[in-house]
């Protein structure tokens, strides 16, 4: 394993048998250098080497060389079109297949393909598919996760690859030892490159993450290789035999053949096209720890009464064949010789032509070196070739067959080879080699000139890169590495851009959000207020045309900003029910009986209803704690009648999100009524309503209050102990721990969005804000958005970043609410403008920021170790929900 750093981004390369990996990115040639070697020196060397190879190849025809055939095929560089990238499913529009492009150079880790989570036990069914439009020889694959500059954490730890040459027959790739699963990424940052041993020849490729389905997985991928110019789509041969040499079992079977195997091997490719040439001594393999004979496919003369082995080669289309190169063993001291004669028949239509091309290489009784034998094919036209290789001795061993046809030329050299010592000077060998020699002098002259020009260009490029890096470093010094001032200013401009779009005319009274968020005291429009911060009060001109790192999403947000009828969050037009979980069932609407109105939410009203036959409807799924009443009481959330298309989409998205969540501290979606309007979601009923109202009506029970408690209870005001409050906080932390295990960002955690059931059971609800789940890290607040600024982290307000860490911030505020029994709004002494000013202080971090005070009942340790740590400026230093859950549980003990 070797690693090199690329522009501050980590690159992990896991190499199989080869010693170094050369990867040419579209813009830069990069070498994954051996430790201690200078990256740039290697880049130069690589370019030079490549030029030499390309030029030499111009005068020679050769088989593919896996050492050279390692070019990125266009996921990164964009040569592979979006329409050629597809997937079995996607979590959302913003994580569709087309975002699954590996991002070597400039990426911020946003954008990736993330499949839909299915709760099936057999995990690895989801795939990201790439169509390369023609057959390619693939030697290397690269994968990467999604990190979003520290805010995302999705990656595929393991994956498998399937491939197909025709789009119909799919084959699962496995390594030379039969292992199908490839170890993938260990974190969301590193690009992990994996050698494919054996390489794959195919047109279609599927990356299939292997998961247990409890985690969200995201992938970005690249395929490395080169076009498969042979055009060979399959060969058919009798499978190889076993030799016993001095008591040693030597297996000459085609162990990587990917077609069918009955009497003959048919419809596949294997060792004869894997680009690996056998050693002179067939007992040894250059592939570590493989069995004797591994490199060769071989046959014993005694099994073939006619004295020859017949092989049929099928091609993608009719070609004009000039020659065939066959790599043969010639260890005659052990009864192995190259073939004595090859007779090849040709077929363009359905019939084999009668006249074969016959070639007899001179027998070599001197050298035991394995070699390529070139069989001239006389420019015959065919789509299939049948060759009969006549035995020259007891055994015939072949390790590679390659065809040269038409203009098919690999940009590789004949000269270099991996491990063996093929020579082209032996009798019967390649006649084209002589042509090479005659051209060599001219080529060397050209090469010297071209290399000199190239070196100059490379020096200029390198010098520019170094200069750019210096500039970048200088600009980064202003802020820490996580969030740069530059980004902040970009965001500011974004806010301005959108606020100017939407607040022109001053009034926000007809904003959709006022209707969406009736709890207007808790939600504010931050962009108007942010403008008052000195750092953010500049003109928008900075950012005119400033490209943003999540441009695709910004564009769609901008589009929705210009549409006055949209929500604060852009509606993504998704097929919401494509691949939804089976748990989301349609309940017969007529079986719901209205009882009373419970409240009003973002989408419409919430009603208490009786649901007749719900228990039977849910069947085995029915596990609502201790509730066996029939008819069952349920809460029914209905989309308001006048809802526009986007509201409808968002409502459906909330359903989709909730249907996937299953935790004791998350409100459970039982069923839906979406076949006809109005759309309804049916959730479990939480008899004590929302936590804010619930706590508001309580008083804290102190030690001295024990006597009063009974009296108060009679008067209608109940009391609650500190332990009970912490018990509620533990439940919220537990629900959030579950969400964070799914990398799910809630965005609107607050007591108003928690519901209270029997016995102080708390469940998190209201997933309205989280519907753009995967936009989380680069989600931008629109000018008109009204947001819960008192619960929001500074980076959510100023940079529009909603992450797990900003949920942690909101949890700190929620904990504060719980321990103050929601008697006051957070920062009640501050106006909305002052809250934003305070956010600016968090951003500046000069010790002037105001924190929420310690609630009276809150122990010092809980305040300083927990609550304050949720509000740390550096998002990475905030605790995780797991830690907080453990901490709170411990404090209860
Ligand atoms: P929402 O639209 O989710 O914000 O809900 C609006 C209000 O309806 C909440 O503040 C609760 O008072 C009430 N409510 C919502 N869902 C439920 C439920 N499952 N059980 C009881 N009350 C609920």
pLDDT at res. 25? 35
Sign of dihedral through CA atoms 76, 82, 86, 90? Answer: positive
Cα 454 to its chain centre, rounded Å, is 36
Alpha helices (H) along 697-781: 706-715, 722-741
Instruction: Give 591's contacts (C-beta < 8 A, 6+ positions apart).
Output: 611, 612, 613, 614
Buried b (16+ CB within 10 A) or exposed e, 181-192: ebebbeebbbbb
pLDDT at res. 624? 58
Ligand 1 midpoint to CA 824 (Å): 21
Ligand 1 atom at shortest distance from the alpha carbon of 684: 19
By DSSP bridging, strand 9-14 and strand 191-209 are: parallel
Residues recognised as catalytic? 748
Ligand 1 atom at shortest distance from the alpha carbon of 688: 21
* Residue positions counted in the chain: 893
Ligand 1 midpoint to CA 546 (Å): 42
What's the per-residue H, E or C state across 482-531? CCCHHHHHHHHHHHHHHHHHHCCCCCCCCCHHHHHCCCCCCCECHHHHHC
Ligand 1 atom at shortest distance from the alpha carbon of 602: 2
Nearest CA to ligand 1 atom 13: 599
318 exposure class (CB count in 10 Å sphere: 0-12, 13-18, 19+):
middle
Instruction: Give 471's contacts (C-beta < 8 A, 6+ positions apart).
Output: none
Ligand 1 site residues, Cβ closer than 6 angstroms: 598-602, 606, 635, 637, 667, 683, 685-686, 689-690, 755, 765-766
Ligand 1 midpoint to CA 765 (Å): 8
Element (DSSP H or E) covering residue 747: none
Element (DSSP H or E) covering residue 54: helix 39-57
Number of H helices, E strands in the chain: 17, 32
Ligand 1 atom at shortest distance from the alpha carbon of 686: 20
Ligand 1 atom at shortest distance from the alpha carbon of 687: 21
> Taking a C-beta distance cutoff of 8 angstroms, is the pair 62, 410 a contact?
yes
Ligand 1 midpoint to CA 607 (Å): 8
Nearest CA to ligand 1 atom 7: 599
Cross-strand pairs, 763: 755
Q: Report in angstroms the alpha-carbon separations of 472 from 7, 461, 467, 487, 778.
A: 10, 16, 9, 13, 21
pLDDT in tens, 369-400: 999 999 999 999 999 999 999 999 999 999 99
Ligand 1 atom at shortest distance from the alpha carbon of 752: 10
Q: Which of 519, 523, 598, 822 to mutate to test the pocket of ligand 1 (most atoms within 8 A of CB)?
A: 598
User: pTM of this prediction?
Assistant: 0.47
Ligand 1 midpoint to CA 284 (Å): 72
Ligand 1 midpoint to CA 812 (Å): 22
Nearest CA to ligand 1 atom 21: 686
Tokens of 156: 């595929």
Tokens of 211: 């998961």
> Angle of helix 551-561 relative to helix 485-502, nearest 10 degrees?
20
Calculated CA dihedral for residues 5, 11, 16, 17, nearest 10 degrees:
-20
> Taking a C-beta distance cutoff of 8 angstroms, is the pair 207, 101 a contact?
no
Q: Which of 689, 695, 746 to mutate to test the pocket of ligand 1 (most atoms within 8 A of CB)?
A: 689
Ligand 1 midpoint to CA 637 (Å): 8
Nearest CA to ligand 1 atom 23: 689
Cα 580 to its chain centre, rounded Å, is 20
Nearest CA to ligand 1 atom 19: 685
274 exposure class (CB count in 10 Å sphere: 0-12, 13-18, 19+):
buried
Cross-strand pairs, 415: none
pLDDT in tens, 123-165: 568 899 999 999 999 999 999 988 766 667 788 999 999 999 9
pLDDT at res. 495? 36
> Taking a C-beta distance cutoff of 8 angstroms, is the pair 2, 14 a contact?
no
In which residue ranges of the chain is pLDDT below 70? 1-63, 104-110, 117-124, 148-151, 213-214, 288, 407-441, 470-583, 602, 620-629, 703-717, 768-786
pLDDT at res. 356? 95
The verdict on whether omega for the bond into residue 270 sits within 30 degrees of 0, i.e. cis, is no
pLDDT at res. 419? 33
Nearest CA to ligand 1 atom 3: 766
Ligand 1 midpoint to CA 598 (Å): 6
Element (DSSP H or E) covering residue 107: none
From the list 234, 174, 159, the residue with the least C-alpha distance to 202 is 234
Ligand 1 atom at shortest distance from the alpha carbon of 667: 19
Element (DSSP H or E) covering residue 526: helix 526-530
Nearest CA to ligand 1 atom 8: 599
Tokens of 58: 């111009």
Nearest CA to ligand 1 atom 1: 601
Ligand 1 midpoint to CA 599 (Å): 6
Ligand 1 midpoint to CA 690 (Å): 6
Nearest CA to ligand 1 atom 6: 601
Cross-strand pairs, 599: 606
Nearest CA to ligand 1 atom 15: 606
Sign of dihedral through CA atoms 540, 544, 549, 551? Answer: positive
Nearest CA to ligand 1 atom 10: 690
Tokens of 218: 């995201």
pLDDT at res. 120? 56
580 three-state secondary structure: coil
Q: Which of 517, 611, 690, 764 to mutate to test the pocket of ligand 1 (most atoms within 8 A of CB)?
A: 690
Instruction: Give the up-direction half-sphere exposure of residue 624: CA atoms within 13 A in the CB hemisphere.
Output: 23
d(CA 47, CA 126): 38
233 three-state secondary structure: strand
> Taking a C-beta distance cutoff of 8 angstroms, is the pair 361, 428 a contact?
yes
Tokens of 302: 């005694």
Q: Which of 516, 518, 599 to mutate to test the pocket of ligand 1 (most atoms within 8 A of CB)?
A: 599
pLDDT at res. 93? 79
Ligand 1 midpoint to CA 606 (Å): 6
Nearest CA to ligand 1 atom 4: 601
pLDDT at res. 703? 62
Ligand 1 atom at shortest distance from the alpha carbon of 766: 3
Q: Which of 661, 755, 764 to mutate to test the pocket of ligand 1 (most atoms within 8 A of CB)?
A: 755
651 exposure class (CB count in 10 Å sphere: 0-12, 13-18, 19+):
buried
> Taking a C-beta distance cutoff of 8 angstroms, is the pair 638, 605 a contact?
yes
Ligand 1 atom at shortest distance from the alpha carbon of 693: 12
Ligand 1 atom at shortest distance from the alpha carbon of 600: 6
Ligand 1 midpoint to CA 681 (Å): 12
Q: Which of 751, 765, 822 to mutate to test the pocket of ligand 1 (most atoms within 8 A of CB)?
A: 765
| Angle CA 489–495–499, to nearest 5 | 145
> Taking a C-beta distance cutoff of 8 angstroms, is the pair 148, 802 a contact?
no
Instruction: Give 680's contacts (C-beta < 8 A, 6+ positions apart).
Output: 589, 592, 636, 637, 638, 639, 672, 673, 674
Ligand 1 midpoint to CA 287 (Å): 64
Calculated CA dihedral for residues 284, 286, 289, 293, nearest 10 degrees:
-40
């Amino acid at each position: 394993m070797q690693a090199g750093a690329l522009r501050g981004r980590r690159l992990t390369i896991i190499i199989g048998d080869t010693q170094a990996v050369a990867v040419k990115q579209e813009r830069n040639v990069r070498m994954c250098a051996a430790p201690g070697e200078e990256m740039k020196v290697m880049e130069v060397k690589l370019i030079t080497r490549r030029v030499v190879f390309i030029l030499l190849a111009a005068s020679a025809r050769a088989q593919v060389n896996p050492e050279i055939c390692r070019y990125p095929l266009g996921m990164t560089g964009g040569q592979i079109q979006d329409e050629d990238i597809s997937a079995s499913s996607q979590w959302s529009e913003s994580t569709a297949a087309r975002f699954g492009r590996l991002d070597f150079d400039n990426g911020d880790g946003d954008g990736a393909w993330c499949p839909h989570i299915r709760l099936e036990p057999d995990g690895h069914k989801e795939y990201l598919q790439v169509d390369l439009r023609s057959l390619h020889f693939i030697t290397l694959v690269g994968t990467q996760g999604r990190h979003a500059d520290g805010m995302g954490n999705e990656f595929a730890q393991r994956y498998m690859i399937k491939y197909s040459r025709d789009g119909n027959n799919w084959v699962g790739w496995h390594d030379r030892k039969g292992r199908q699963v490839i170890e993938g990424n260990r974190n969301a940052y590193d690009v992990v490159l994996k050698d494919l041993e054996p390489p794959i020849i195919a047109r279609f490729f599927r990356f299939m993450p292997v998961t247990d389905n409890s985690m969200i997985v995201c992938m970005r991928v690249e395929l490395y290789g080169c076009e498969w110019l042979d055009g060979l789509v399959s060969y058919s041969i009798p499978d190889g035999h076993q030799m016993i040499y001095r008591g040693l079992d030597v297996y000459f079977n085609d162990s990587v053949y990917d077609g069918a195997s009955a009497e003959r091997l048919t419809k596949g490719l294997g060792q004869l096209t894997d680009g690996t040439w056998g050693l002179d001594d067939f007992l040894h393999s250059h592939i570590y720890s493989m069995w004797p004979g591994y490199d060769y496919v071989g046959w014993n003369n005694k099994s073939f009464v006619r004295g020859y082995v017949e092989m049929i080669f099928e091609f993608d289309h009719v070609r004009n064949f000039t020659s065939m190169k066959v790599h043969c063993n010639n260890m005659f001291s052990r009864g192995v010789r190259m073939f004595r004669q090859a007779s090849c028949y040709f077929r363009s239509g359905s019939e084999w032509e009668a006249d074969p091309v016959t070639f007899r290489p001179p027998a070599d009784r001197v050298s035991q070196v394995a070699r390529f034998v070139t069989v001239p094919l006389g420019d015959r036209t065919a789509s299939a070739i049948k060759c009969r290789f006549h035995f020259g001795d007891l055994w015939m061993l072949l390790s590679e067959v390659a065809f040269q046809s038409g203009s098919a030329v690999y940009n590789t050299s004949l000269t270099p080879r991996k491990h063996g010592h093929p020579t082209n000077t032996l009798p019967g060998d390649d006649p084209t080699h002589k042509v090479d020699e005659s051209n060599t002098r001219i080529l060397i002259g050209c090469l010297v000139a071209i290399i000199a020009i190239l070196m100059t260009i490379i020096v200029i490029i390198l010098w520019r890169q170094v200069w750019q890096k210096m500039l970048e470093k200088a600009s980064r010094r202003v802020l820490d590495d996580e969030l740069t001032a530059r980004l902040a200013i970009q965001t500011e401009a974004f806010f301005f851009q959108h606020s100017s779009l939407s607040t022109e005319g001053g009034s926000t009274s007809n904003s959709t959000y006022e209707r969406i968020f009736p709890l207007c005291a808790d939600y504010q429009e931050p962009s108007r207020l942010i403008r008052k911060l000195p750092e953010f009060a500049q003109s928008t001109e900075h950012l005119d045309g400033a490209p943003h790192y999540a441009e695709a999403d910004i564009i769609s947000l901008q589009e929705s900003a210009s549409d006055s009828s949209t929500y604060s969050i852009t509606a993504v037009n998704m097929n919401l029910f494509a691949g939804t979980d089976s748990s989301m069932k349609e309940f017969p609407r007529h079986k719901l009986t209205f009882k009373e109105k419970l409240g009003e939410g973002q989408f419409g009203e919430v009603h208490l209803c009786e649901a007749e036959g719900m228990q039977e409807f849910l069947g085995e799924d029915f596990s609502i704690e201790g509730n066996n009443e029939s008819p069952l009481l349920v809460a029914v959330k209905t989309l308001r009648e006048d809802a526009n298309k986007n509201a409808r989409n968002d409502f459906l998205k909330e359903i989709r999100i909730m249907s996937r969540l299953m935790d004791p501290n998350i409100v459970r979606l039982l069923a839906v009524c979406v076949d006809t309007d109005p759309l309804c979601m049916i959730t479990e009923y939480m008899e004590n309503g929302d936590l804010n109202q619930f706590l508001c009506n309580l008083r804290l029970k102190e030690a001295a209050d024990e006597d009063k408690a009974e009296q108060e209870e009679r008067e209608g005001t109940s009391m609650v102990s500190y332990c009970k409050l912490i018990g509620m906080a533990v439940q919220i932390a537990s629900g959030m721990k579950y969400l964070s295990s799914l990398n799910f960002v809630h965005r609107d955690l607050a007591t108003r969005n928690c519901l209270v059931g029997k016995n102080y059971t708390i469940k998190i609800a209201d997933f309205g804000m989280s519907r753009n789940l995967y936009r989380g890290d680069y989600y931008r607040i629109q000018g008109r958005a009204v947001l819960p600024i008192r619960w929001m982290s500074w980076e959510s307000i100023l940079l529009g970043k909603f992450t797990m860490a900003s949920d942690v911030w909101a949890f700190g505020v929620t904990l504060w609410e719980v321990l103050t029994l929601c008697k006051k709004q957070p920062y009640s002494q501050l106006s909305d403008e002052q809250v934003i000013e305070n956010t600016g202080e968090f951003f500046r971090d000069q010790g002037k920021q105001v924190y929420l005070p310690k609630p009276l009942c809150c122990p010092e340790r809980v305040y300083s170790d927990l609550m304050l740590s949720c509000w740390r400026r550096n998002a990475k230093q905030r605790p995780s929900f797991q830690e907080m859950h453990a901490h709170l549980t411990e404090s209860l003990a």
